[in-house]
């Protein structure tokens, strides 16, 4: 349940970014995912189109249509603000970080890493138990 105070803050943020309700085209579509049969029967997913920026948002964060209306507008504000400031959103930054982590190493980097591992293993072999001469 979203409080009236949160809605007021959101509307103030929308005014600051010059997003008016008349610019928004809002549709309710059937959601998917968790929630069972209820989600498949009700149109709780909110789709927002913001004509001036050409941004489309789909929100099915909760099973409540009213809450999804709030979350969709909030996500729209985040995107529009990111575009105006020329910054990447936190979600986009996290996505790119994961992509960099999963990226395949270059041959040179891979060879360097393997060389370091062999050096380390040879050091460890020297740490073996000292046996008296037989």
- Summarised one tens digit per residue, pLDDT across range 100-130 is 999 998 999 999 999 999 999 999 998 878 7
- The yes-or-no verdict on residue 93 having pLDDT over 90 is no
Contact 65, 43 (CB under 8 A): yes
Is 129 in a helix, a strand, or coil?
A: coil
- The yes-or-no verdict on residue 38 having pLDDT over 80 is no
Q: What is the mean pLDDT of residues 26-44?
A: 83
- Quote the pLDDT of residue 5: 95
Q: What residue ranges define each of the domains in the chain, with the CATH number in brackets?
A: 4-87 (3.30.160.20), 92-121 (no CATH)
Strand-pair partners of 27? 47
The two structure tokens encoding residue 47: 């789709």
Contact 45, 68 (CB under 8 A): yes
Eight-class DSSP state of 55: E
- Summarised one tens digit per residue, pLDDT across range 77-91 is 988 888 888 777 777
Give the pLDDT band (50/70/90) at residue 73: very high
Greatest alpha-carbon pair distance for the chain in Å reads: 93
The two structure tokens encoding residue 88: 């990447």
Measure Cα distances from 129 to 49, 117, 125, 126, 133 in Å: 71, 21, 9, 9, 12
């Amino acid at each position: 349940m979203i409080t009236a105070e949160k809605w007021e803050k959101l509307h103030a943020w929308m005014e600051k970014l010059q997003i008016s309700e008349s610019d928004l085209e809002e549709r309710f579509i059937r959601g998917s995912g968790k929630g069972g049969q209820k989600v498949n029967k009700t149109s709780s997913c909110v789709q927002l189109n913001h004509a001036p920026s050409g941004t489309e948002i789909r929100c099915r964060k909760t099973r409540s249509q009213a809450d999804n209306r709030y979350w969709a507008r909030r996500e729209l504000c985040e995107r529009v603000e990111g575009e105006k400031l020329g910054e990447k959103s936190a979600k986009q930054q996290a996505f790119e970080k994961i992509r960099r982590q999963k990226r395949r190493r270059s041959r040179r980097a891979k060879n360097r890493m393997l060389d370091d591992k062999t050096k380390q293993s040879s050091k460890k072999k020297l740490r073996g138990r000292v046996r008296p001469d037989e």
